[in-house]
Amino acid sequence: MTETWIILGATSSMARAFARAVARNGAQVLLAGRDMADLQASASDCALQGAPVAEALHFDARDQATFAPIIERATALEGMINVAVFVGSMPTQEAIDADPSLIAGTVTDNYAGPAAFLQMIAPKMEERGGGTVAGVGSVAGDRGRIGNYVYGSSKAGFHTYLSGLRNRLTRSGGHVVTVKPGFVDTSMTWGIEGMFLVASPEKIAADILTAVEKRKNVIYTPGFWRLIMGIITAIPERLFKKLSI
Ligand SMILES: NC(=O)c1ccc[n+]([C@@H]2O[C@H](COP(=O)([O-])OP(=O)(O)OC[C@H]3O[C@@H](n4cnc5c(N)ncnc54)[C@H](OP(=O)(O)O)[C@@H]3O)[C@@H](O)[C@H]2O)c1
């Protein structure tokens, strides 16, 4: 079956591993992001892996004028349209405490920008009667904690958005999988101390692909994070508010 994967935030190492995997499966790939040289290199790699179409396209979550050309290109291609969202940014909570104006960009990168893009493309997916959205959120979105609550709340907003979009797209044969990674070894987490059970970007990409194929609704990756977050979310608020986890 001919299909296209639009990959938002395609310079992420998780996104790169995911793009290679779907290219190997013969999908058309549109790699969207800000660093065009990096995206071109990935597009060449995807073509070598077997993608019949592999292109780099400019996407900036903070500039909605960049969205329409990507959607036009995807709709010009035959087959189902799928979208994988890897876009995100995570200023430190200390930086945000010092400069609250950083909140707006954080919310746009993790939630408002991707959500606006998905709102624009949803009618095209509905017209074609299917397609999958894989949205990368975070375990940080499951509970606000002292060290990361602005980033966490932006991911929580994205999770809730994806839940509603799943409800909508299901009606036309489409699907949405919400992906909640734990700690992953990427440029976002480079140099951060105190991380544990760190996963590789390839592991996350493989879990996302399996979840897409099995039409899972919400996954934790690696899977043991479901248990960890089950424990963390079960801690009573009167106790949790005194913890620094
Ligand atoms: N690493 C972890 O432990 C972890 C855990 C849970 C969830 N996540 C989530 O996983 C996803 C991928 O992150 P990563 O860890 O692979 O880090 P990353 O390498 O920093 O990837 C983030 C991606 O978002 C893009 N991006 C940021 N702001 C953008 C904007 N305004 N417009 C367009 N693209 C923008 C970056 O593009 P540029 O190259 O242009 O900056 C990059 O492609 C993110 O959503 C992140 O929140 C990561």
Q: Based on the number of CB atoms within 10 Å of its own CB, is 164 exposed (0-12), middle (13-18) or buried (19 or more)?
A: exposed
Could you tell me the distance, in angstroms and rounded to a whole number, from the CA of residue 239 to the centre of ligand 1? 32
With 90 as the cut, is the pLDDT of residue 189 above it? no
Please report the atom of ligand 1 found closest to the CA of residue 61.
Answer: 32
Q: Is the pTM of this model over 0.95?
A: yes
> What confidence score (pLDDT) does residue 190 get?
86
With 90 as the cut, is the pLDDT of residue 197 above it? no
* pLDDT interval class at 196 (50, 70, 90): confident
Could you tell me the distance, in angstroms and rounded to a whole number, from the CA of residue 79 to the centre of ligand 1? 27
* pLDDT interval class at 4 (50, 70, 90): very high
Residues near ligand 1 with C-beta < 6 Å?
9, 11-14, 33-35, 59-62, 86-90, 109, 136, 138, 181, 183-184, 186-189
**Atom 40 of ligand 1: nearest residue by CA position:** 34
Contacts of 143 (CB under 8 A, 6+ apart): 152, 229, 232, 233, 240
The per-residue pLDDT for range 108-130, each reduced to its tens digit, is 999 999 999 999 999 999 999 99
Domain boundaries along the sequence of the chain:
3-240
Query: Can you tell me the mean pLDDT for 6-25?
Result: 98
Contacts of 110 (CB under 8 A, 6+ apart): 87, 88, 89, 151, 154, 155, 157, 158
To test the pocket of ligand 1, the residue of 6, 7, 11, 58 to mutate (highest count of ligand atoms within 8 Å of its CB) is 11
Could you tell me the distance, in angstroms and rounded to a whole number, from the CA of residue 188 to the centre of ligand 1? 7
Chain centroid to Cα 80, Å, comes to 19
> What confidence score (pLDDT) does residue 193 get?
79
Q: Based on the number of CB atoms within 10 Å of its own CB, is 73 exposed (0-12), middle (13-18) or buried (19 or more)?
A: middle
Could you tell me the distance, in angstroms and rounded to a whole number, from the CA of residue 216 to the centre of ligand 1? 22
Query: Can you tell me the mean pLDDT for 220-244?
Result: 97
Could you tell me the distance, in angstroms and rounded to a whole number, from the CA of residue 179 to the centre of ligand 1? 13
The fold for domain 3-240 equals Rossmann fold (3.40.50)
* pLDDT interval class at 166 (50, 70, 90): very high
The per-residue pLDDT for range 38-72, each reduced to its tens digit, is 999 999 999 999 999 999 999 999 999 999 999 99
Could you tell me the distance, in angstroms and rounded to a whole number, from the CA of residue 3 to the centre of ligand 1? 24
Distances (CA, A) of 157 to 67, 143, 169, 206, 228: 20, 12, 18, 25, 21
